[in-house]
Structures are given as structure tokens and as C-alpha cells.
Amino acid sequence: MKEKSILHVPLLSPAWKKVAFLFFPLPVLLVIGMALVQMEISPDDSAQIIYGFWAIGFGILNLSREKEEDEMIKSFRLQAFQTGFYWLIWGLGALMMINYLRFGRITSEIFSAYLVLFLLNAYIYGAFQYQKYMCNKD
Amino acid sequence: MKNTIKVERARHNLTQQDLAEKVQVSRQTINSIEAGKYVPSTVLALKISKVFGIALEEIFELEEGD
């Protein structure tokens, strides 16, 4: 059965996972490096740099093919995207609630596109790995 | 959904890996189907029944709650 081309999502080769893992320590080293050379950067900006890099890392992991990308893995992937989005909504709701209880308002400087993308991709990755773990568990 | 893949495999002297290769999925997928953790698509179910040369209903059976 042929898929409609406009809906088809091309996945990256599994080798990209190695590249993705580089994005996790890189921003931490970058922020430390910027602090060492005494660049003026606010803690909020540092956090955004880290969220941005981690979002890209998780994004690459989520869009990389498994070694054996069969229909079960495809179904896990679809479920992971749905579950990840669901967890994101609850996660953001929880962050807003915490912010409201602590500072009396639901908005905060830390809420940014980088944070949302990082959380979304992290949740998707978590949901995908959880399904694979449950499937391999006896 | 219950299935008799394990029984049919034994009858045809096939390992999970052999069956996986015949229907072009991973061994983990066959293992998950046998354990009832994953319900295969119609296409995969038909491929499995074709390997064993028996009707789909003889391999897969609906359970209460399905």
C-alpha cells in the first residue's frame, strides 16, 4: 500500500543519533566557556541556549530511523508523538501552576519556544523509549 | 487478541527470526505479537497467515474486550 507522498516523513539514517548526542554536552560547555571568557550573558539566556541545543538533539533522535524500522516501530513512533504532545500540555500546565503559586502570575521569562520544543522532543523521545522497553521486557 | 503463532511456528519448525525474515519485520515484533503486546496490521497478519498456509481466523482470534 503506497503512502501519500505529502504526508510521508523521511527519517534520517541511524548514524545521525551519534550527531544528536553531541548536542547534549555542547551547550553546557559553551555556557561554561562563555562564563570563563566573561561574556555578559544572563542566566535566562544561558538556559535558552541549553534548551535550544537539547531541543535539536532530541529532535534529531526522534527523526532518526531505528536499525529495523518495521511497522511496530512506526506505530510506537506515532504513539510517542501523540503521547509527547499530551505530556507537553500537562507539563506546561504544571509549570504555569507552579509559577502562579510562587510569583502570582502564569507567565514567566523562562517560557520560550526553545523550552517548549525541548520539552516536546524530550517527552516524545521518552515515550518512544518507554514503549520499546515495555515491548522487550519479559 | 489471541494468536497461535507460536504453535504454528513449532509446527513449521520456524524460529522467530525465520518468521521475521519471511514477513520482513524484526524478531522483536514477532516476539511482541506472540506475547500479545502488539496487534499486527492487517497486511502483516495476512503475510503471517500466508507463511503458514492457513486462514487468518485460524491464527488470530478476538478476545472479550477487543
Residue A3 counted as domain residue: no
CATH of domain B2-60: 1.10.260.40
Q: Which of B17, B19, B22, B26 to mutate to test the interface with A (most CBs of A within 10 A)?
A: B26
Residue A111 lies in a domain: yes
What is the model's pLDDT at position A5?
82
Domain boundaries, chain B: 2-60
ipTM: 0.89
In this structure, is residue A45 part of a structural domain?
yes
pLDDT on residue B34: 95
- Grid coordinates 474486550 are at which residue? B65
Q: Residue written as cell 524460529?
A: B15
In A, minimum Cα distance to B26 occurs at: A68
| The predicted structure's pLDDT at residue A2 | 63
Please tell me if residue A73 touches chain B, with a CB cutoff of 8 Å: yes
Distance CA A14, CA A63 (A): 9
pLDDT, one tens digit per residue, over B37-65 is 999 999 999 999 999 999 999 999 998 88
Cβ-Cβ contacts under 8 Å, A68 against chain B: 25-26, 28
The residues, any chain, with a CB within 8 Å of residue A57's CB and separated by 6 or more, are A20, A21, A22, A23, A24, A121
Residue A78 belongs to a domain: yes
Alpha-carbon distance B51 to nearest alpha carbon in chain A (angstroms): 18
pLDDT in tens for each of the 138 residues of chain A? 566 688 888 999 999 999 999 999 999 999 999 888 877 788 888 899 999 999 999 999 999 999 999 999 999 999 999 999 999 999 999 989 999 999 888 888 778 999 999 999 999 999 999 999 998 886
**Min distance A77 CA to chain B CA atoms (Å):** 14
Three-state secondary structure call for residue B43 = helix
Compute the CA torsion angle A23, A27, A33, A35 (nearest 10 deg): -170
Output the average pLDDT for chain B: 94
What per-residue confidence (pLDDT) applies to B23? 96
Contacts with B64 (C-beta within 8 Å, 6 or more apart), sequence order? none
Per-residue pLDDT, A35: 85
pTM: predicted TM-score of the whole model, two decimal places: 0.88
The angle subtended at Cα A34 by Cα A29 and Cα A38, nearest 5°, is 145
The answer for B 3-42 residues in CB contact with A (under 8 A) is 24-26, 28-29, 32, 37-38, 40-41
Q: Which three cell numbers stand for residue A32?
A: 561554561
Let me know if residue A25 belongs to a domain.
yes
Into how many domains does chain A fold?
Answer: 1
Residue A33 lies in a domain: yes
**HSE of A8, CA atoms in CB hemisphere, 13 A:** 8
Task: Kindly report the nearest CA distance between residue A76 and chain B, in angstroms.
Answer: 10
* CB–CB contacts below 8 A, A to B: 29
Q: What does the pLDDT read at residue A119? A: 95
Structural domain boundaries enclosing A55: 14-136
| Type of residue numbered A33 | G
